[in-house]
Amino acid sequence: MKNKTKINPAVFLLLGAATFWGLNFHEAKIMLKYVHFMEAGFWRYIFGVGFLFLLQMRSGLWQSFREVRKVGWTGILLVGLVGVFGFNVFFFWGLKYTSALNAALIIGLTPATTLLMSKWLLKTPIYRRQKIGMIIAFTGVVYLLSKGRPDLLLQLKWSVGDLLILVANLLFAVQNVWIKKYAPAYNNNLFFTLLTAALPLLGFALFMPVLGGFHAPPFAQYDFWLSAIGMGMLGTCLAYLFWNRGVQQLGAANAGLFINAVPLAAAIFAVFFGEQLELYHAFSGGLILLGLFYVQRATD
């Protein structure tokens, strides 16, 4: 019989990824003051892919390419182009037409959509503890985003941007399922992450001239460049390395629940950007973490 209090180490990888993605909200806000969202995505991924490439060079690049040729490119293309690139495009596109609160609430549905996608595509059963943990964590997210006033959510107005964010939500959910399905076959999480990040970089580079042009800020705009490097190194390189490994170990259904930790991390990082923590942050954060760790309890 397994110890019911044991926590899988993958939990901390997923929490790490969620933490870095929470920081991304603040760094992206800084970058978007200077450039179009397509160019912001380009700079994020050029630094992210650059850091991943440097790490991969130490592990052997060409040997990894030979291994990928044996397995095939299906999983990499699906995760990189449809999942990662598709999610980023619809997410940033949707933010042009809807509020950050609406977007965060819809993204907060990712654990539920990931559970459903995992059951549909991988035939993964949905357990009672997953449902309970998901409800607890999502309650914490709602309480956090409404600043302790859930009744205010009734006053929200919905728009076409919300539909775009919903598409992003579904793409991220199916991306998690594909990571669980295809990534283990490549035997090299670092190289898999590098290739699935390189494809979005290619996509942004191709579409950027059409939609936004190229207007790189001068180097004197240090806040832009620090944010771009931070999003590349932490919010892309390390976050996707941690997330992909965590999904492989815990499965798409359980891992998807950790998206609930993203708004909590964003709220905590807000302190470093001049905002103040309130009592509702602590209460909602406790609910989110309770829901996440409840699901991850070892079972017989």
Q: For 186-191, what is the mean pLDDT?
A: 86
Interatomic CA distance for residues 149 and 114, integer angstroms: 27
Q: Mean pLDDT: which of 71-75, 118-122, 214-218, 227-231 is highest?
A: 227-231
Interatomic CA distance for residues 119 and 127, integer angstroms: 11
Interatomic CA distance for residues 247 and 178, integer angstroms: 10
Q: Is the dihedral of CA 87, 48, 121, 245 positive or negative?
A: negative
Q: For 2-25, what is the mean pLDDT?
A: 82
**Could you tell me how many helices (H) and strands (E) the chain has, helices first?**
15, 0
Structure-token match 């995760």, residue found: 79
Structure-token match 């964010």, residue found: 165
Percent of the chain residues past pLDDT 90, beyond the cut = 27
Q: How confident is the model at residue 298 (pLDDT cuts 50, 70, 90)?
A: very low
Gap between the terminal Cα atoms of the chain: 6
Determine the pLDDT at residue 166: 86
For the entire predicted model, the pTM comes to 0.82
By C-alpha distance, which of 2, 5, 7, 33 is closest to 221?
Answer: 33
**With contact defined as beta carbons under 8 Å apart, do 124 and 183 qualify?**
no
Q: Token pair for residue 68? A: 């990928």
Determine the pLDDT at residue 300: 33
Q: Token pair for residue 123? A: 């035939």
